[in-house]
Amino acid sequence: MRCLKYFENNYTMKNYKLAWRNLWRNRRRTMITSASVFFAVFFALIFRSIQTGSYGYMYTNAIESYSGYLQLQQEDWWDEKTIDNTFSYSETIEQLLLKDENVEATIPRVESFALASNGSTTKGVMLMGIDPDKENLLSDLNQKRVKYRITPEALEKIQGNDLFSEKSKEAAALFVGSSFTNEERLLLDLDIDIEEADAFLPLLKKYAHYDAEVIKLGEPGVWLGDKLAQFLELEKGDTIVLLGQGYHGASAAGKYKIMGLVKLPAPEMNSRVVYMPYDIAQEFYNCGNNLSSLVIHLNETDDKSVRKTKERLREPIPQHSRVVDWKEMNEIMIQQMEADNQSGILMIAILYMVIAFGVFGTVLMMTAERRREFGVLVAIGMQKKKLASIITYEMIYIGLLGIALGCLITIPLITYGTHHPIIFKGEMAYMMEDYGFEPKLVFMPVSYYFLWQAFIVGLMVFFSLIHPVRKILKLKVVTALRA
Amino acid sequence: MKVLELKNVHKIYNSSDIKVHAVNGITLDFEQGEFAAIVGPSGSGKTTLLNMIGGLDIPTEGEILVDNTDLSKLKSSRLIDFRMNNIGFVFQSYNLIPVLTAKENVEFIMNLQKWPKKKREKRTLELLKAVGLSDRINSRPSKLSGGQQQRVAVARALASKPKFILADEPTANLDSKSTETLIEIMEVLNKEENITFIFSTHDARVVKRAKRVITIEDGKVLTDLRN
């Protein structure tokens, strides 16, 4: 009761009220100004969510397809990735690393370069010697195996079957040579609705089936990135010729059967990777028991945990080796993302700047229109500071209305987008893949970047307020009353 | 008891190298409960004089004392508080706060003065009854006629029981009937509340009802007659 009484009698409470009512004197103007703030907040949030979400997705892809969060390497290997800069692997090293509370497993790799050729076509490739079982812990390679492929034969069968619509036949022609790791993506790109899937999937599975055979330690055989296979015009069952430089000047050469294809989310990897069992790679490079890296698979992968684990592992690791984190290994990508991030921020800054001028225009008009009223209020006894506070409340309300509305609409959209990324299909998907992007827009969940928008709008309101507050504080009552 | 004294008040405007002597050495005083009209042709200095009396403008020379306080010596924020507590204003074009109801407009200054709610409401209802608007307490200015708005303005000016009320041509925008009503109300309130009313006017009907008529020309007092 005391509290209520306080509010009833408290003048500040009246300022709030008066400001709120003033806001609706010119309903249309208030709505337009709030709407402009709303649109700025809406677009900025959606844009930031997609941009940062996509960065996160790309980082995860890079980490999970290749680098892992931490790697143990010979100290010179990262700067010069030759097979000579590998280190001798023993189980003692693994035991040492596994002692750390955050280390779940170690994943051995023999990685170097080689020339891959088929007939007269040659390409420099990244040869990854892996332990196929352990590799699944990190990159889940099994899930990235190509299971369907629109080969020219498959296309011919699809086009010859009248059950398929013209639309699907056209899409199949567009995607000839493309690979798919799951049925959903296949249906999506061929423009087949979920309702029709039951009818067409068995046929598609029959025509486009392309499942890879497994690669196993001790058994020669390779998996190729699907874009690399396309470039070299190789298919499952064909043989690839690899030629490289082995350990300490030895020459490395070999022919390997292609057991299957993999489609990785990182397009750059997709066009140059050759996977083979690491013991076969050791044999190929003639490097004994050496490894180029030992991926350290972690339980906790947040930045802080990664940093602390890296610090802890500095001590027990062998001489002439070092632990490298994912940021060092993906430096170029991070720099590119950072540059893109800066340009995104600049775009948003321009958007806000335009809106800020709009808001300022409204404030300017409002100040000019209400000059006489300000004069009257000061004449009858309202302190200029109080009057300025009313105008401040009005502007805060406009800002809050825009922010609240923006968040109210954006939060459900972003939450939905987080769980249902935008996946492009058809020609758009084809084009994006061609440019080296995965045809997928990922949203970043609601997070700190929402607070930034509130801060920016607050800043915008603050700067817009400078003019009216200054005008009020310098108000000459007599002149204002004549306005 | 003197509520207001003007001692040799001058106001000179310097614009475009031309000096305009709007008020030229006026000396006047007003007793509590006076009902005084300031008359004169346009440009004679009525409004400038009222502005200075109300502390809205500062004299170039001379003193204006309200209850022995020299207005020109007060700092801006203290002057605003002084006006709030001692001077009521009625403007030619009403100047009510458009987003507040009649009741809230009258309460406004009492709110600024932090009157307790009950006392505030009692006073507001009394005043609105006195100006004949007890049935329109919840109407906003836009729903009131010009005459009704001006009556609310008079009630607002009286609300905080000021030493005097300044009204700059309060009937200029009103029809004859509304003028008559307003003047009657002002007269009654002048008697009942014993508050000094000083108003400028051109209207002969209003002048006729004033107890004291001060005629100004070229910034000087020409005549000062008491009925």
User: Which site among A7, A10, A24, A380 would you substitute to test the B interface, given the most B Cβ atoms closer than 10 Å to its Cβ?
Assistant: A380
Per the listing, tokens 């980082």 go with A59
User: So what's the pLDDT on residue A436?
Assistant: 61
Q: Do A373 and B109 lie within an 8 Å CB cutoff?
A: no
Query: Which stretches of chain A drop beneath a pLDDT of 50?
Result: 1, 3-13
CA distance to partner chain A, nearest, from residue B110 (Å) = 10
What is d(CA A309, CA A447) in angstroms, rounded to the nearest whole number?
26
CA distance to partner chain A, nearest, from residue B102 (Å) = 14
Q: Do B108 and A21 lie within an 8 Å CB cutoff?
A: no
What is d(CA A241, CA A116) in angstroms, rounded to the nearest whole number?
6
Length, in residues, of chain A: 483
User: So what's the pLDDT on residue A11?
Assistant: 45
**In the beta sheet, which residues pair with residue A299?**
none
Q: Do A381 and B84 lie within an 8 Å CB cutoff?
A: yes
- Please answer whether residues A377 and B80 qualify as being in contact, where contact means their C-beta atoms are separated by less than 8 angstroms: no
- Cβ within 8 Å of B, A 384-403: 384-386
Alpha-carbon distance values, A109 to A61, A83, A325, B84 (Å) = 18, 12, 16, 84
Flag whether residue A477 sits within 8 Å of chain B, measured between CB atoms.
Answer: yes
For A355-407, how does the pLDDT look when each residue is reduced to its tens digit (9 = 90+)? 888 888 888 988 898 999 999 999 999 999 999 999 999 999 999 999 999 99
User: So what's the pLDDT on residue A10?
Assistant: 47
Alpha-carbon distance values, A243 to A87, A116, A240 (Å) = 22, 6, 10
For B54-109, how does the pLDDT look when each residue is reduced to its tens digit (9 = 90+)? 999 999 999 999 988 999 889 999 999 999 999 999 998 889 998 899 999 999 99
pTM for the whole thing? 0.74
Using an 8 Å CB-CB cutoff, list chain A residues near B81: 381, 383
Flag whether residue A378 sits within 8 Å of chain B, measured between CB atoms.
Answer: yes
Q: Where are the domains of chain A?
A: 2-59+334-482
Each residue's pLDDT expressed in tens, for chain B with a length of 227 residues:
889 999 999 999 887 678 889 999 999 999 999 999 999 998 899 999 999 999 999 999 999 999 889 998 899 999 999 999 999 999 988 899 988 999 999 999 998 898 999 999 999 999 999 899 999 999 999 999 999 999 999 999 989 889 999 999 898 888 888 888 889 988 998 998 899 999 999 888 889 999 999 999 999 999 999 87
> What is B2-226's CATH number?
3.40.50.300
User: So what's the pLDDT on residue A305?
Assistant: 93
CA distance to partner chain A, nearest, from residue B204 (Å) = 25
For B75, the token pair is 């700092």
Q: Do B99 and A376 lie within an 8 Å CB cutoff?
A: no
* Residues with Cβ within 8 Å of residue A452, at least 6 apart in sequence: A48
SS3 A385: helix
CA distance to partner chain A, nearest, from residue B227 (Å) = 30
For the beta carbon of residue B176, count every other beta carbon within 10 angstroms: 10
CA distance to partner chain A, nearest, from residue B59 (Å) = 13
Outline where chain B has alpha helix (H): 46-53, 76-86, 102-112, 117-130, 146-159, 176-193, 204-209
Q: Do A377 and B97 lie within an 8 Å CB cutoff?
A: yes
Using an 8 Å CB-CB cutoff, list chain A residues near B114: 9, 11
User: So what's the pLDDT on residue A264?
Assistant: 83
Flag whether residue A377 sits within 8 Å of chain B, measured between CB atoms.
Answer: yes
User: So what's the pLDDT on residue A138?
Assistant: 84
Q: Do B91 and A481 lie within an 8 Å CB cutoff?
A: yes
Pairing of strands B196-201, B212-217: unpaired
Interface of B to A at Cβ within 8 Å reads 51, 54, 56-57, 76-77, 80-81, 83-85, 88-89, 91, 95, 97-100, 108-109, 111-114, 116-117, 156-157, 160
Q: Among candidates A22, A74, A11, which has minimal Cα distance to A293?
A: A74
Nearest CB to A379; choose among B89, B97, B116: B89
Nearest CB to B109; choose among A18, A24, A381: A381
